Amino acid sequence: MSVAAFKERDFIPTENNPFGLVYADAITENAEGAVNIHAIQYPYRDFYAVANVYTPAGYDPAGNYPAVVVAHPNGGMKDQVAGNYAQKLAEHGFITLAFDAAYQGESGGTPRSVDWPSNRVEDVHRAADIILQYPGVDRKRVAALGICGGGGYTFKAAQTDKRFKAVATLSLFNSGEVRREGFRGSQVDSIQERLAAASQARQDEADGKEAALTPNMCETVTPEQADAMPYDLYREGYYYYGQDAAKAGSTFSYTVSSLMELAGWDARDGAELINVPLLMMIGSHADTGYMTIDCYEAAVNAPVRELFEIPGATHIQTYWKDEYVAQAIKKLVEFFGVNL
């Protein structure tokens, strides 16, 4: 495979940003001597996946830069929190690649909103294929950063993908555990009924019917109902994805049949295979923190293993709130600087 395996694509602008970015202080133009953004697409099975590559100020294609692949949260896109972190890491001298998961966002694949863990892990492997070919990337200094659901999938990908020389997660979400058991074990008793529904949904797809989707919280829940939710993750996620960082293609929905794959998957399985430096970051007030801790404790063979707590932050606040993002970026730059 050569550099020709990926090619430039057109940006799909939003109302406020020519590059389609929906996070604060996002790039609005490519200028000489500044961080620039490049839209690319690359083959993925029988369709194309899409990504944005951020290059540092003064980027020289003949240079030798450290690089980071950034995986977005469940239901998210490269233009939200993943892009926020990718841009800020580029400001510190990294080439970064933020991609849309296959079957989601602006990447191809049908039916839409398929959420199979095997696909999401393959997304990370495929992103590594591409960034390792990007001009100026030092192949000996490539890392991965996964956020929320992307954190769980990156944690899994790093177990077998030894091209990553360091791995970091932010607000890790173990998708298999939560889809199987419910958030904090709230749906343990209903798993058999939900699996039966997922199995029927798969058969319906096989019979030619349109893929059934789980409800999209941003469309089915009112602000009053969201405010009454007991978990910060969903309450704040409603406003982040539904209002503050809303983007066409970003959705809480996934195909009902996906549960057949999700229920048998767990990010922790195989954690002992991680043998590179590992940084796992959580907000001190994040109600998802237990998932990061569980994975951290299972990664017993990481030669460097650090759990970094961001004081005062909830899960969603680590995506956008300046004071918390700044702390996470400072720690990432320090960690990657030492371990790449």
Q: Give 242-261 pLDDT, tens digit per residue.
A: 999 999 999 999 999 999 99
Torsion angle defined by CA atoms of residues 60, 322, 141 and 108, in that order, rounded to the nearest 10 degrees: -80
Q: What is the pLDDT of residues 270-328, one digit of tens each?
A: 999 999 999 999 999 999 999 999 999 999 999 999 999 999 999 999 999 999 999 99
pLDDT at 1: 38
Average pLDDT over residues 7-28: 97
For residues 54-69, average pLDDT: 98
The DSSP result for 282-325, as a single string, is EETT-TTHHHHHHHHHH-TT-SSEEEEEETT--TTHHHH-HHHH
Residue at token pair 């000996």: 140
Q: What phi, psi does 120 have (nearest 5°)?
A: -65, -35
Write the pLDDT tens digit of every residue in 114-148: 999 999 999 999 999 999 999 999 999 999 999 99
> Using 50, 70 and 90 to split pLDDT, how confident is the model at 2?
very low
Confidence of residue 4 (pLDDT cuts 50, 70, 90): low
User: Contact 314/286 with Cβ under 8 angstroms?
Assistant: yes
Residue 171, phi-psi category: left (phi > 0), alpha (psi -120 to 50), beta (remainder): left
